Amino acid sequence: MKGEVCPRAARPMIAVMISRKVAQRANKRNLWKRRIKEAFRRNQKEIKRGVAVLIQGRKVNDPPPYREIEKELIYFLKKAKAWEKIEGRS
């Protein structure tokens, strides 16, 4: 995945782009989108307020498992300084 962060949004938002170059079939592209959006939704409370994230999928043989997507999304948000860990949460 690669992405950009825009600090002007009112609450954390996400946009996901998966082109046909990444996955020819629509069901595979939708699987990517569902997994990325779910990872974002489940971790939304730890994302700084007002962050808009644009995610663009990269070409791989199969969509990665959910845990790998979640791990990479968190890594990206930390690198972009958009991650704010709440005390008492794991």
pLDDT class of 64 with cuts at 50, 70, 90: confident
What is the edge-to-edge ordering of all strands in the sheet holding 52-56?
2-6, 52-56, 13-17
Query: How far is CA 72 from its chain centroid?
Result: 8
DSSP H or E run through 14: strand 13-17
Contact (CB, 8 A) for 28 and 68: no
Name the residue with higher pLDDT: 7 or 15: 15
> What are the pLDDT digits (tens) for 19-46?
998 888 999 899 999 999 999 999 999 9
pLDDT class of 52 with cuts at 50, 70, 90: confident
Return d(Cα 32, Cα 65) in angstroms, integer: 9
Backbone Cα Rg of the chain: 13
* Whole-structure pTM value: 0.80
pLDDT class of 17 with cuts at 50, 70, 90: very high
Average pLDDT of the chain is 85
Q: Which CATH number applies to 2-79: 3.30.420.40, 3.30.230.10, 1.10.1740.10, 3.90.1640.10?
A: 3.30.230.10
